[in-house]
């Protein structure tokens, strides 16, 4: 009776954890749309949404409601199955990455130790890369299934951008992995928390910069939002989409932004580490909760920087984008990797 | 080729220097500019709650005036309609009957008085033409409407409240401070 020996409490615990994390990601993404509009407004000396509720706090709900009640249009000549699959894939891949992120250390309830991570797999970063590169299928399939040449071209722009920036992103991470010697995000976080160790960004500043620029491109955020290009280039890959299917595409962008912020915080900024405090001296449960808070604050700061950049920089032209990716970021990442390798071989071996 | 205006600015076409090619200094400079804008004073006027003050000569919606005893000033002479460049004003005159002295100041009055707000250009010439101080332009806007006919304002829409029976509404319409 192997089935009965199974730890059912573990299943329930993980299910609850999954529900909470997905809800949090959705709520953060929802309020990121609000934050985006507020930040944009402030940077342009405007007030921003302030009509729905106090300070416009209900604006995301109103937007969501509007999208739900809009007419659903599926073009006659489109491939209906793929047309619907596109936004689903975009949303799915956006949510999937959250599974391996360590959101906090461990909670102790009675005898039970609950890890605040859905799955601590030892190939964590590879999993992230796998899922992120699947994200481009949402764009590609959505753009192709619309049977509209402008959508298709926008999707191609997006796909080529994501593929070229993934390379530099991967190489910049290799340097980090040589330093940590582990692919598991939990281990990487714990290494940074260990006494005598600093955050990885201090050891890999160039690597972080490259990773950050590539994360902007991977999320299709300005200045690399060529696949969307709202005000120009005919809207982008979701031109034929309406109602909540469009909402899913837009929403997945914000979830991606949140998740990539969390991943950057985990890889380079100590994850749930609270700076200047030795966590092991205090009550572990309290520290676990504070750690979750610290990770959230770091992620929110990153989200703000994402928005800050969006409302400062103009969009790259396509050839500039490719030049930056292939001729600047990839060589830089390679140099960074070689230097890291040499330093590790020479001094830490 | 000779330039058509003096406004053109010379643009450097030289290839970018290394500092410019790195982008980052310029990016950081731009970001510091946008960040400083976050704390600047917003020029926004939150409209329904706040309104911009109008100048005393602002020409808004028309008001048909009454005298201090609450009698209509207008005698339907038609000078405003003649003066109106947009031909927005229409009226019909009538003779004051016995016992209507408390309603109309003089023997003749306007039985019908309409201003088509879709035609009106708010030039204020009717106000200037009026010999009886019966029409003037207030400091309010013409509100939007879904139907054309609702924007043809009849006498009821234009008349100022009676100072005898509704002194507060009258003071408000006049723009006077409430009398205590």
Judge: A312–B30 Cβ closer than 8 Å, yes or no.
yes
Angle at alpha carbon of residue A295, lines to A289 and A297, rounded to 5°: 105
The pLDDT, as a whole number, for residue B180 is 39
- What are the tens digits of pLDDT across the range A112-163? 788 888 888 888 888 888 888 888 888 888 888 888 888 888 888 888 888 8
Cβ–Cβ < 8 Å for A82, A145: yes
Cis peptide upstream of residue A223 (ω within 30 degrees of 0): yes
Q: How far apart are CA B9 and CA B26, in angstroms?
A: 21
Q: To the nearest whole percent, how much of chain A has pLDDT over 90?
A: 23
Q: How far apart are the first and last CA of chain B?
A: 74
Q: Please give the Cα distance from A188 to A182 (Å, whole number).
A: 7
**Confidence (pLDDT) at A1:** 52
Q: With an 8 Å Cβ cutoff, are B44 and A46 in contact?
A: yes
Instruction: Identify the structural domains of chain B with CATH numbers, from first to last.
Output: 62-174 (3.30.70.3270)
DSSP per-residue letters across A313-348: SPPPPHHHHHIIIIIIIHHHHHHHHHHHHHHHHHH-
Query: For A233, left (φ over 0), alpha (ψ -120 to 50), or beta?
Result: left
Nearest-Cα distance to chain A for B11, in Å, is: 19
- Residue-level pLDDT at A234: 67
Residue A346 φ then ψ, to 5°? -80, -40
Search chain A and give the residue with CA nearest B40.
A45
Q: How far apart are CA A241 and CA A245, in angstroms?
A: 6
Q: What is the pLDDT of residues A274-332, one digit of tens each?
A: 887 777 777 878 888 888 999 999 999 999 999 999 999 888 888 888 888 899 899 99
Q: Is B130 left (phi over 0), alpha (psi -120 to 50) or beta?
A: beta
Q: For the sheet with B152-153, list strands across it.
A: B89-95, B108-116, B152-153
Q: Give B5-18 pLDDT, tens digit per residue.
A: 888 888 888 888 88
Shortest distance between the Cα of A209 and any Cα of chain B, in A, equals 10
| B158 in Cβ contact with B63 (< 8 Å) | yes
**Which of B28, B34, B40 is most worth mutating to test chain A (most A CB atoms within 10 A of its CB)?**
B34
ipTM of the prediction greater than 0.90, yes or no: no
Which chain A residues are within 8 Å of B38, Cβ to Cβ? 39, 42-43
Residue A36 phi/psi, 5-degree rounding, is -55, -45
3-state secondary structure B62-86: EEECECCCCCECCCCCCHHHHHCCC
């Amino acid at each position: 009776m192997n089935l009965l020996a199974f730890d059912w409490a573990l299943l329930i615990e993980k299910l609850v954890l999954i529900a909470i994390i997905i809800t949090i990601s959705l709520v953060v993404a929802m309020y990121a749309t609000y934050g985006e509009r507020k930040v944009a407004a402030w940077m342009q000396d405007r007030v921003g949404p302030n009509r729905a509720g106090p300070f416009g706090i209900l604006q995301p709900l109103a937007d969501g409601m509007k999208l739900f009640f809009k007419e659903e249009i599926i073009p006659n000549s489109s491939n209906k199955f793929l047309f619907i699959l596109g936004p689903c894939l975009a949303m799915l891949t956006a949510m999937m990455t959250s599974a391996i992120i360590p959101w906090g250390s461990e909670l102790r309830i009675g005898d039970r130790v609950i890890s605040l991570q859905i799955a601590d797999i030892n190939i964590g970063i590879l999993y992230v890369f796998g899922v992120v590169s699947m994200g481009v299928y949402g764009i590609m399939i959505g753009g192709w299934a619309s049977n509209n040449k402008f959508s298709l071209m926008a999707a191609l722009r997006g796909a080529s951008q994501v593929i070229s920036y993934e390379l530099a992103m991967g190489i910049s991470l290799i340097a980090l992995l040589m330093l940590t010697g582990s692919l598991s995000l939990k281990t990487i976080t714990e290494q940074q928390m260990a006494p005598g160790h600093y955050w990885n960004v201090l050891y890999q500043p160039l690597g972080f910069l490259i990773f950050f620029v590539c994360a902007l491109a991977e999320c299709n955020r300005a200045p690399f939002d060529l696949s969307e290009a709202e005000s120009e280039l005919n809207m982008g890959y979701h031109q034929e989409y309406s109602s909540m299917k469009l909402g899913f595409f837009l929403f997945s962008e914000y979830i991606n932004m949140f998740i990539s912020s969390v991943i950057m915080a985990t890889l380079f900024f100590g994850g749930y580490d609270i700076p200047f405090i030795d966590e092991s001296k205090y009550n572990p449960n309290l520290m676990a909760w504070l750690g979750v808070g610290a990770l959230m604050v770091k992620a929110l700061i990153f989200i703000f920087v994402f928005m800050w950049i969006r409302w400062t920089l103009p969009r790259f032209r396509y050839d500039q984008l490719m030049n930056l990716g292939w001729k600047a970021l990839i060589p830089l990442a390679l140099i960074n990797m070689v230097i890291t390798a040499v330093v590790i071989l020479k001094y830490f071996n | 080729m000779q330039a058509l205006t003096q406004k053109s600015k010379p643009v450097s076409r030289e290839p970018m220097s290394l500092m410019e090619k790195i982008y980052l200094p310029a990016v950081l400079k731009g970001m510091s500019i946008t960040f400083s804008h976050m704390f600047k004073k917003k020029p926004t006027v939150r409209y329904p709650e706040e309104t911009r003050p109008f100048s005393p000569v602002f020409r808004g919606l028309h008001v048909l005036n009454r005298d201090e005893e609450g009698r209509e000033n207008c005698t339907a002479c038609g000078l405003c309609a003649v003066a109106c460049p947009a031909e927005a004003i229409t009226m019909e005159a009538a003779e004051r009957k016995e016992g209507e002295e408390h309603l109309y100041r003089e023997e003749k009055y306007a039985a019908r008085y309409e201003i088509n707000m879709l035609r009106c250009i708010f030039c204020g010439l009717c106000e200037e033409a009026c010999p009886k101080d019966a029409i003037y332009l207030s400091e309010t806007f013409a509100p939007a409407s879904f139907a054309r006919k609702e924007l043809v304002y009849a006498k009821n829409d234009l008349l100022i409240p009676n100072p005898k029976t509704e002194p507060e509404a009258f003071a408000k319409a006049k723009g006077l401070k409430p009398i205590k």
